Amino acid sequence: SKVIKEQICRRYTLDTGLESICLRYCWVWQPDTYRQHFASWADTPEQFVGQLWGYVDVRDVAQAVARSVEAPNIEHETLLISADRTFARQPSLELAERFLPAGIPVRNESWFADEPRRTLMDCTRAKEVIGFVPEHDCWEEAGQMV
């Protein structure tokens, strides 16, 4: 259904010239999510294969929406919005190898060189187009709360 809605927006933009930005958020966390669930979720990665261990803080969602409204000269964009790191304790490539189907290629292993827990979701386009920068990171916040 997300793809269909994005295609409707793209078509509407083509037909009318009205700019549109579709934001795709992964699992949205509120500040109390860290306190309540982080420790148990971080230690059970098998439960969250479908989310690819990704999340985004609700405050960063608000930032992405505000930046989208203010973005100049956009025709149509679909942008992924995620935190820069996963909430799992294990390195992302290790999780991918262990839980994802065999044979899925890693396009760029250097993506994980400086941050082994970097998200498997690439938000580079959102950073380029609207200047999105995730500011809230569960690792730092959970370390203070758990």
Q: Give the pLDDT of residue 142.
A: 57
CB 138 within 8 A of CB 48: no
Q: Give the pLDDT of residue 104.
A: 83
Instruction: Using the Cα atoms of residue 3, residue 105, residue 132 and residue 46 in order, give the sign of their dihedral.
Output: positive
Residue whose token pair is 């010239």? 17
Mean pLDDT (10-residue bins), the chain, 146 residues: 91 92 92 75 83 93 96 93 91 93 83 92 95 84 50
Beta bridge partners of 79: 23
* Alpha-carbon gap, residue 31 to 57, rounded angstroms: 7
CB 83 within 8 A of CB 25: no
